[in-house]
Chain A
Amino acid sequence: MIELIPTSFIFFAMAGVLVCVPHGIMRGALLLATPLIAGLHIWLIGFGNFWPYEIFGFDLELMRVDRLSRIFVIIFCLASFLGNMFAWHLRDTTQQVAALLYAGSAIGAALSGDLISLFFYWEGTALASVFLIWARGTEGAYHTGMRYLIVQIGSGVILIAGVAVFYRETGIVSFDKMTLGSLGTWLIFISFGIKCAFPLMHNWLQDSYPAATVTGTVILSAFTTKMAIYALARGFAGTEILIYIGTIMTLFPIFFAEIENDMRRVLSYSLNNQLGFMVVAIGIGSELALNGMAGHAFAHILYKALLFMSVGAVLYRTGTAKASELGGLYRTMPLTAIFCLIGAASISAFPLLSGFVTKSLTLSSVAEEHRTIIWLALVFASAGVLSHSGIKIPFFTFFGHDSGKRPAEAPRHMLIAMGITSLLCILIGVFPSIFYQILPYDTSYVPYTFDHVLGQLQLLFFALLAFAILYRFGLHPSEIDSTNIDTDVIYRKWMPSLLGLLILALSRLYLRILIKISYLIKYAYRKLNETHGPKSARVTGYPSSVMVINITVLFAIALIVIFAS
């Protein structure tokens, strides 16, 4: 009975039903029930391959449930539940349907046993999610959505090209571990890399997530990138180059996040940095590392959603998410502030919270491989995480200088969503051994050793001390309402400018050629007029009778020639 329908189809079916249900409690309940049913479905169905079918001679597999895919499906269901709870007040059918289709597509991708169904779900996430950006309903959001869609669809097109080439090379379409080397695998790798926000391919993320609606960003933050992380882990675990890519990913966003004014963009950079840790773990590829990747993805979706929710609640109440316009909101939004602090402490990996027990798996796996420089870089990045997500977000939103804004506390449903998410962050941190049971591999890892807790506390508290000192002396970057350019300046400014210059140059050239040609024509006319015109020497020098005689002679010669021949 339970095998009758793939988990992702539950979401698609419910999205259809949703349209027929009026707004209100019924629809809200449906939105909350769908991910719960799906979660229960994946939990009860057990491990194995379900729903194999053949199309055009390809063996496809819609449901491959193993420990790696299950943990991603569970967290996707959980994220969908929490996101829908946060969006309980919403009366927008488009966003509600998009949220369900988006979650369903991401879950479908995580369960795909072959590359062809992966492609369809891959594109499904792109198409469904863009409506969460467009739903903002402004011109800016429309253009941002178009840019987002171009990148996302582009990733899908590269994926299907890679799959086609890979099929020609190997004759298989099943989605298993691949070895980077051939054109097909490289294309698939790049396609994953785009959605995973690899360095230089990352800017779609920071461009689009802050443009979505209050609730849309919370939902966006969970799925696309983590689906790509799953795909990388499934296809390219143990690929050396990922270690270096991931390390760069953990480092560069922290500087951008530090000076960004839009809090939701700060969180997008922070998201990028967190993905870096997971990519490093995939590159290491050991069981401990893959546990770290999956655990970190799970915990990260929760605390990142929590942070996006708290900033979203502030945006919902005040109409802005810009650090330069916020501050001092703890007075009237104390619960939101506390939930934000829990999220901030979780992402900074304070002991007893989810970030600590999951990130340490990755760091330990790097240590086991004795990669000192990578390890030092990741620890450096951990201090960076504290600076933008741990301090900047809560401090400049809820504390810092008083903005004078006195918004009411977030609506009850948002508080419930943030409360549940906070509770999960704490539970994972306090009971890691229970959480470790759903990781892809059995582990007896103990995160709470004296060494480890002490080292982490020293790192974090001395970083906090550094902040306190720098802030006290006015050396911390002030909040300035600005645009900070990133790689998007290439295609949003430089390339259009270059194209404009090129068009200008070409049009000038064309004009010059036209002028030259008209000069030439005028010159030829004048010259002909001089030699053969009515006033030319040739015309005035000879009387017309001479011409008549000439023609007569010519005709006579012609007559003789014709007669003779």
Chain B
Amino acid sequence: MKNAKHDNNQKFPKLGQWLTWVDKPGSVNKILIGLGLVCFILLCFDFFYPKHGHFDVENIRGFYSLYGFIAFTAVVFLAMFLRTIIIRKPDYYSSKDVNSEKYPTDGLGQVDQDD
């Protein structure tokens, strides 16, 4: 595989060239600000539009926003805790295990962009 430092962006597919915008300096911040704005607007709706949910909790202002944020964070932290218990070496079961072996090359079509 080619080293990224010797990239020639012109060789990428058109769509790929266009997408490299996300790697330009400052783009990530723009995406984050955009995301924050969308979240803010979505949250604002809760204060102008009364919900008619099945459950009482649904009608609490900002319920979905808060629940989504907390649920995601909880998943991440619980998973990281779980990892400390269940993590093992890649060849824990066997050196010939699916997890530790290479995928056989005859079943692949490994072609590089430049090839």
The answer on A and B forming one complex is yes
Residues of A that sit less than 8 Å from B by CB: 89, 135-141, 143-144, 210-211, 213-214, 254-256, 258-259, 262, 315-321, 328, 330-335, 337-338, 364, 367-368, 370, 372, 375-376, 379-380, 383-384, 386-387, 399, 402, 404-409, 411, 450-451, 454-468, 470, 472, 475-477, 480-486, 492-493
Chain A-chain B contacts (Cβ-Cβ < 8 Å), number: 246
Contact A455 B108 (CB under 8 A): no
* Contact residues in B for A259 (Cβ distance below 8 Å): 79-80, 82-83, 86-87
The answer for the CA separation of A484 and B80 in the assembled complex, in Å, is 12
Chain A proximity of B50: nearest CB distance (Å): 10
* Chain B 28-60: CB-based contact to A (< 8 A → 1; otherwise 0): 000010011011001101100101111101100
Contact B57 A372 (CB under 8 A): yes
Quick one: closest B residue to A414, CB to CB?
B109
Which of A384, A455, A480 has the most chain B CB atoms closer than 10 A to its own CB? A455
* Contact residues in A for B87 (Cβ distance below 8 Å): 259, 480, 482-484
The answer for the CA separation of A69 and B108 in the assembled complex, in Å, is 37
A334-B13, A483-B89 known; A455-B80 Cβ under 8 A: no
Which residues in window 72-94 of B have CB below 8 A to A?
72-76, 78-80, 82-83, 86-94
* Contact residues in A for B89 (Cβ distance below 8 Å): 482-483
* Contact residues in A for B69 (Cβ distance below 8 Å): 462-463, 465-466
Chain B proximity of A284: nearest CB distance (Å): 14
Chain B proximity of A365: nearest CB distance (Å): 11
Chain A proximity of B43: nearest CB distance (Å): 7
Contact A461 B75 (CB under 8 A): no
Contact B42 A461 (CB under 8 A): yes
Chain A proximity of B27: nearest CB distance (Å): 11
Is B24 at the interface (CB under 8 A from chain A)?
no
The answer for the CA separation of A368 and B39 in the assembled complex, in Å, is 29
* Contact residues in A for B105 (Cβ distance below 8 Å): 319
* Contact residues in B for A456 (Cβ distance below 8 Å): 64
In the A-B complex, the 6 residue pairs with the closest CB atoms: A258-B79, A383-B71, A367-B54, A334-B15, A458-B64, A459-B68
Contact B76 A470 (CB under 8 A): yes
Contact A477 B76 (CB under 8 A): yes
The answer for the CA separation of A211 and B93 in the assembled complex, in Å, is 14
A138-B98, A454-B45, A455-B64 known; A484-B88 Cβ under 8 A: yes
Quick one: closest B residue to A254, CB to CB?
B75
A258-B75, A331-B20, A464-B35 known; A210-B98 Cβ under 8 A: yes
Contact B71 A379 (CB under 8 A): yes
* Contact residues in A for B71 (Cβ distance below 8 Å): 379-380, 383-384, 463
Quick one: closest B residue to A216, CB to CB?
B107
Chain A proximity of B12: nearest CB distance (Å): 5
* Contact residues in B for A331 (Cβ distance below 8 Å): 7, 9, 12, 16, 19-20
* Contact residues in A for B66 (Cβ distance below 8 Å): 462
Contact A451 B42 (CB under 8 A): no
A140-B101, A262-B99, A316-B108 known; A483-B93 Cβ under 8 A: yes
Quick one: closest A residue to B53, CB to CB?
A451
* Contact residues in A for B76 (Cβ distance below 8 Å): 258, 387, 466, 470, 475-477
Contact A455 B58 (CB under 8 A): yes
* Contact residues in A for B101 (Cβ distance below 8 Å): 138-140
The answer for the CA separation of A259 and B76 in the assembled complex, in Å, is 9
Residue of A258, A409, A475, A480 touching B13 (CB-CB under 8 A): A409
Contact B39 A461 (CB under 8 A): yes
The answer for the CA separation of A143 and B36 in the assembled complex, in Å, is 49
Quick one: closest B residue to A379, CB to CB?
B67
Residue of B78, B86, B110 touching A484 (CB-CB under 8 A): B86
Contact B68 A383 (CB under 8 A): yes
